[in-house]
């Protein structure tokens, strides 16, 4: 049974404000549709107003500007960040249970920090090192000479090829492959000869990487993921890419070889960036778009090829009117024919 907190207590913790009953007991958190009369819900996306109005929740967390009659409200400056704190409060992480499974194969030359946790059928190769409290899930494979920092967690079935470095407090989800060979071939007379890929992958601190994402090693030097970046599932980062800190790569996005992206890059879902490009800081690429040119800081682009996002939206709106434009051109031609005909008659 989860601990109950009074709504007023929660407001104090979050620096928020209660409209309504500060004594309401909150035993958990649930979505607007599913919350019961002892649960808090949240209204963080404008399209859910009706769901918020109809919610049976004991109280609703929302931004300070929100109005909603007939509900206890917990109003804060940043409702989504507040929600994160509340979820941590009501769903504390399971305590770590450090142990090395007798079914794991840990090379005797590997260095294990204090209180590491290694699951069954994991493999830790020669010269690899795990920081204190690092977790390696069942069936994961840590190649020779890899480094995994303190408090990082690899879920089951992650593969780190030899030489990969993962920083501290990272979370790597199942099926991720870090350090597979970059896609480099020299084509001579139609034959594709492999260019050896002898660089590595470096993942800095506080990075999260989603399920089945792949990040390839550099041909030489590094493929590097900047600190604090968050990568979603099924993303592809090619060899030699440098991704600035604090970046967000949404599901199924891809970055081709040797591209360099600045800090705070946002690639929305299914978007792509071509090889060798230079992308400034703070660039946002819309979903399903493809960047084929360098971009300055703070560019917001969309389309294939990606152009300024507002221009892209305008052209897409006009695109739908192409049939009408075509009809109009025909009408104008007919009218000019007529005018010229009038002229002919005048000759």
- When the beta carbons of 1 and 320 are compared against its own copies, the nearer one is 320
320 makes contact with its own copies (CB under 8 A): yes
45 makes contact with its own copies (CB under 8 A): yes
Return d(Cα 235, Cα 247) in angstroms, integer. Answer: 13
Contact pick of 27, 53, 68, 270 for its own copies (by CB under 8 A) = 270
Binding mask 15-34 for its own copies (x = CB under 8 A): --------------xxx--x
157 makes contact with its own copies (CB under 8 A): yes
127 makes contact with its own copies (CB under 8 A): no
Residues paired with residue 242 on neighbouring β-strands, in sequence order: 224, 260
Q: Is 342 helix (H, G, I), strand (E, B) or coil?
A: helix
Q: Are 149 and 133 in contact (CB under 8 A)?
A: no
Residues touching its own copies: how many (CB under 8 A)?
Answer: 109
121 makes contact with its own copies (CB under 8 A): yes
For 240-255, what is the HEC assignment?
A: CCEECCCCEECCCCEE
Contact pick of 119, 145, 149, 262 for its own copies (by CB under 8 A) = 119
333 makes contact with its own copies (CB under 8 A): yes
Of residues 56-75, those binding its own copies (CB under 8 A): none
Active site residue 71: no
Return d(Cα 161, Cα 146) in angstroms, integer. Answer: 8
Q: Which stretch binds its own copies (CB under 8 A): 2-10, 13-21, 53-61, 263-271?
A: 263-271
Provide the minimum distance between the beta carbon of 168 and its own copies in the complex, in angstroms, as a whole number. 15
Active-site pick, 45, 71, 91, 239? 239
Provide the minimum distance between the beta carbon of 324 and its own copies in the complex, in angstroms, as a whole number. 10
Of residues 280-319, those binding its own copies (CB under 8 A): 287-288, 290, 292, 303-305, 307, 311, 314-316, 318-319
Of residues 173-232, those binding its own copies (CB under 8 A): 173-175, 177, 180-181, 183, 185-186, 188, 190-196, 198, 208, 210-212, 214, 216, 219-221, 228, 230, 232
- When the beta carbons of 22 and 84 are compared against its own copies, the nearer one is 84
For 187-208, give one letter per residue: b (16+ CB within 10 A) or e: eeeeeeeeeebebbbbbbbbbb
Return d(Cα 328, Cα 336) in angstroms, integer. Answer: 12
Q: Is 307 helix (H, G, I), strand (E, B) or coil?
A: strand
Of residues 222-241, those binding its own copies (CB under 8 A): 228, 230, 232-234, 236, 238
- When the beta carbons of 22 and 258 are compared against its own copies, the nearer one is 258
- When the beta carbons of 69 and 345 are compared against its own copies, the nearer one is 345
78 makes contact with its own copies (CB under 8 A): yes
Q: At what angle do helices 309-319 and 322-346 cross, to 10 degrees?
A: 60
325 makes contact with its own copies (CB under 8 A): yes
Q: Is 292 helix (H, G, I), strand (E, B) or coil?
A: coil
Task: Find the angle CA(329)-CA(331)-CA(336) to the nearest 5 degrees.
Answer: 95
Contact pick of 155, 165, 224, 267 for its own copies (by CB under 8 A) = 155
Work out the number of other CB atoms within 10 angstroms of the CB of residue 264.
Answer: 20
Contact pick of 25, 51, 68, 248 for its own copies (by CB under 8 A) = 248
| Residue in 197, 201, 190 with CA at minimum distance from that of residue 223 | 201
51 makes contact with its own copies (CB under 8 A): no
Provide the minimum distance between the beta carbon of 314 and its own copies in the complex, in angstroms, as a whole number. 6
For 234-290, what is the HEC assignment?
A: CCEECCCCEECCCCEECCCCEECCCCEECCCCEECCCCEECCCCEECCCCEECCCCE
Maximal CA-CA distance, the chain: 104
Q: At what angle do helices 79-90 and 7-14 cross, to 10 degrees?
A: 120
Provide the minimum distance between the beta carbon of 18 and its own copies in the complex, in angstroms, as a whole number. 21
- Determine how β-strand 191-194 pairs with β-strand 185-188: antiparallel
Residue spans of alpha helices (H) in the chain? 7-14, 49-54, 79-90, 309-319, 322-346
Q: Which residues are catalytic?
A: 239
């Amino acid at each position: 049974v989860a601990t109950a907190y009074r709504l007023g207590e929660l407001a104090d913790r979050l620096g928020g404000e209660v409209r309504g009953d500060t004594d309401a007991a909150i035993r958990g958190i649930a979505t607007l549709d599913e919350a019961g009369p002892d649960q808090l819900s949240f209204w963080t996306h404008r399209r859910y107003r009706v769901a918020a109005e109809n919610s049976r929740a004991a109280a609703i967390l929302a931004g300070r500007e929100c109005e909603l009659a007939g509900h206890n409200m917990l109003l804060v400056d940043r409702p989504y960040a507040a929600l994160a704190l509340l979820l941590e409060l009501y769903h504390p992480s399971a305590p770590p249970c450090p142990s090395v499974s007798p079914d794991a194969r840990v090379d005797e030359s590997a260095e294990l920090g204090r209180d590491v946790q290694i699951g069954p059928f994991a493999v830790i190769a020669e010269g690899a090192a795990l920081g204190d409290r690092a977790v390696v899930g069942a069936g994961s494979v840590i190649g020779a000479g890899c480094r995994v920092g303190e408090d990082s967690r690899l879920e089951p079935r992650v593969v780190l090829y030899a030489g990969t470095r993962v920083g501290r407090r990272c979370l790597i989800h199942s099926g991720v492959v870090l350090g597979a060979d970059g896609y480099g071939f020299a084509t001579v007379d139609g034959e594709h000869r492999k260019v050896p890929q002898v660089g590595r992958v470096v993942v800095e601190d506080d990075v999260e990487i989603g399920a089945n994402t792949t990040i390839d090693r550099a041909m030489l030097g590094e493929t590097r993921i900047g600190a604090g970046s968050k990568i979603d599932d099924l993303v592809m980062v090619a060899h030699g890419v440098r991704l600035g800190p604090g970046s967000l790569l949404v599901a199924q996005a891809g970055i081709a070889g040797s591209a360099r992206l600045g800090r705070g890059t946002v690639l929305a879902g299914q978007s792509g960036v071509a090889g060798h490009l230079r992308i400034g800081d703070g660039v946002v690429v819309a979903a399903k778009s493809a960047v084929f040119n360098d971009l300055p800081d703070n560019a917001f682009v969309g389309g294939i090829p990606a152009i300024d996002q507002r221009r892209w939206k305008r052209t897409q709106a006009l695109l739908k009117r192409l049939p009408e434009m075509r009809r109009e051109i025909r009408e104008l031609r007919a009218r000019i024919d007529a005018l010229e005909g009038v002229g002919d008659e005048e000759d």
